[in-house]
Amino acid sequence: MGHVDHGKTTLLDAIRSAQVVKGEAGGITQHIGAYSVEHKGASLTFIDTPGHAAFNKMRERGAHITDLVVLVVAANDGVKPQTVESIRHIKQAGVPVVVAINKVDVEHADPNVAKSGLAEHDIVVTEYGGDIEAVEISALKKTGIETLLDTLVTMADLLELTADPDAPLEAVVIESSKDKHKGAVASVIVQQGTLSVRQNIQTDITSGRVKALVSDTGARTEQVLPGFPTEIIGFADVPEVGSIVRDTDKEYVQEEEEVKAEVEQDITAGWDFSAVLDETPKMNLILRADVHGTLEAIMATLDDESTTLIASGVGEVTEKDIELAAASNSVVLAFHVPVSSKIKRLAKDAGVKIRAYDIIYKLIEDLQKQMMKLLEPTIDEVVIGEAEVLQVFEMKGERIAGVRVKTGVLKKNDRFHLKRDDDIIANPVVKTMMHGKQEIPEINAKNEGGLTFKNKKLDFQVGDTIVAYTVEE
């Protein structure tokens, strides 16, 4: 985990001697990948979590399904915003961490700057009197890699990380997609039990029978033991990222009875032609992406004030997409999915615009520019209140931001920015403003309250700032 461009994928490339970076559009890891390596008789499985800010949720998932985290920090750059986000997720998950200080070979590199910056966020390395191991490396020149792997193996031994291959199957989905030829595909890591070909499996929203298991090297295998990644072919529908794969033929205690109720809609289940459009001018969107994690990241950037998400899904753009786009006057955004000549002709005949992208931040930049054009033009903004998010919790299926107003006042019907560090990441609309169980119209300075938002997928976190403002024409 770590900041974009700090060398996470290059480090993994150095470890497994494969050219991942060269195969990525724009040099940015687009999806979560899992890869296994052998080191001195021990097996290590790495999950490569993307560094771009859009993949915040995917990084959070990565922290929650790992036994150890390698936090990568560049010696010439120090602690950056995604570094801080990664530290937050590591702490929330309670996962042991090893720091890899990368790019020690470049000009102006100073590992001490990185170490002191980490100490400010309670990541104190042994050299500074803490208990967190730090290894100085150069992923590009492949120096320090052996020491890093030795450290990971030693930590795994000390933590006594073990799993039972004979226990009931549990494998976590780290990515999922829909392939034209293979059908629904899920990348998983087996956490306990054994996953086998011809095994009947299920998640909370789909099921199937394992037709094939494919390793990270592309080889077919008959079974997968705990700790190893694999690609499952055989699900009836695309499973949710983060869901648990279990053996259908085994009896399990249902610990989360409300899981299915919380799943609003399987994104592969079809299209809703009855979407109601607001009378105010908005940009109607239909989203298509190659994998579920990327689709979720794009959806998290949408602003309810300027956009209406008509439909979304995993897989290539279809005729139904074009029909729905024509009926709802929508733009189709396609990320890393094919758009056939037939679909292009249908779109042209129907007057539908399709925008295809290979690089996530280009899509998001263009999307945000279009959203800003739809917002009411202003000359200046006047801040009337600021609050800090102190806590994030859930109640009755709603994510709630527990805030404390630092200055001014927040009123329910105000305009709001959601800020992380100095960046505006969303313009949310408040749904409810609460104090305890009582709904209130405003929160004054030095007081606390709970906020819910109309965009249920809004990615707010502890430490974010909610800014209330008015505009002066």
Predicted confidence pLDDT, tens digits, the chain (473 residues) = 888 888 888 898 888 774 454 556 555 555 557 888 888 888 899 987 665 555 555 666 666 678 899 999 999 999 998 898 888 888 877 889 999 999 999 988 999 999 999 999 999 999 999 999 999 999 999 999 999 999 999 999 998 888 899 999 999 888 888 888 889 999 999 999 999 999 999 998 899 999 999 988 888 999 999 999 999 999 999 998 888 999 997 754 444 334 333 333 333 333 333 333 334 467 899 999 988 888 888 888 887 778 889 999 899 999 989 989 888 888 999 999 988 888 988 888 888 899 999 888 788 888 877 776 665 454 467 889 999 999 998 887 789 999 999 999 999 989 899 998 877 888 888 999 999 888 999 999 989 999 999 887 788 999 999 999 887 65
Q: Is residue 262 part of a domain?
A: no
We report the CATH number of the domain holding residue 155 as 3.40.50.300
Same domain, 147 and 40: yes
Strand segments, DSSP code E, in 82-158 are 97-102, 134-136
Q: Is residue 276 part of a domain?
A: no
Tell me the DSSP string of 226-241. Answer: TT-EEEEEEESSPPPT
Identify the helix (H) or strand (E) that includes residue 145: helix 145-159
We report the CATH number of the domain holding residue 417 as 2.40.30.10
- Residue 221, classified by CB atoms within 10 Å of its CB into exposed (0-12), middle (13-18) or buried (19+), is middle
Predicted confidence at residue 216, as pLDDT, reads 82
- What six digits make up the tokens of 74? 């560049």
Distance CA 399, CA 404 (A): 17
Q: Is residue 274 part of a domain?
A: no
Same domain, 222 and 354: no
Check if the beta carbon of residue 447 is closer than 8 Å to that of residue 408. Answer: no
Q: Helix or strand or coil: residue 97?
A: strand
| Total domain count, the chain | 4
Same domain, 303 and 223: no
Domain's final residue, options 110, 140, 159: 159
We report the CATH number of the domain holding residue 356 as 3.40.50.10050
Q: Is residue 258 part of a domain?
A: no
Predicted confidence at residue 472, as pLDDT, reads 62
Domain's final residue, options 159, 178, 211: 159
Same domain, 176 and 190: yes
Tell me the residue range of the domain where 322 lies: 283-374
358: left (phi over 0), alpha (psi -120 to 50) or beta: alpha
The structure tokens 């031994």 sit at 157
Same domain, 190 and 53: no
Same domain, 42 and 132: yes
Handedness of CA 72, 76, 81, 87 (dihedral sign): positive
Q: Is residue 360 part of a domain?
A: yes
Q: Is residue 353 part of a domain?
A: yes
Predicted confidence at residue 281, as pLDDT, reads 64
Same domain, 354 and 301: yes
Predicted confidence at residue 226, as pLDDT, reads 94
Q: Is residue 30 part of a domain?
A: yes
Looking at the DSSP assignment, which residues form a beta bridge with residue 161?
Answer: none
Same domain, 304 and 247: no
Predicted confidence at residue 99, as pLDDT, reads 97
Q: Nearest CA to 232 among 182, 268, 269, 194?
A: 182
Predicted confidence at residue 51, as pLDDT, reads 53
Same domain, 176 and 87: no
SS3 content of the chain, % helix, strand, coil (to 5): 25, 35, 40
Same domain, 109 and 126: yes
Same domain, 40 and 146: yes
Distance CA 471, CA 469 (A): 7
Distance CA 240, CA 362 (A): 25
Q: Is residue 264 part of a domain?
A: no
Same domain, 368 and 393: no
Domain's final residue, options 329, 351, 374: 374
Identify the helix (H) or strand (E) that includes residue 429: none
Distance CA 196, CA 223 (A): 4
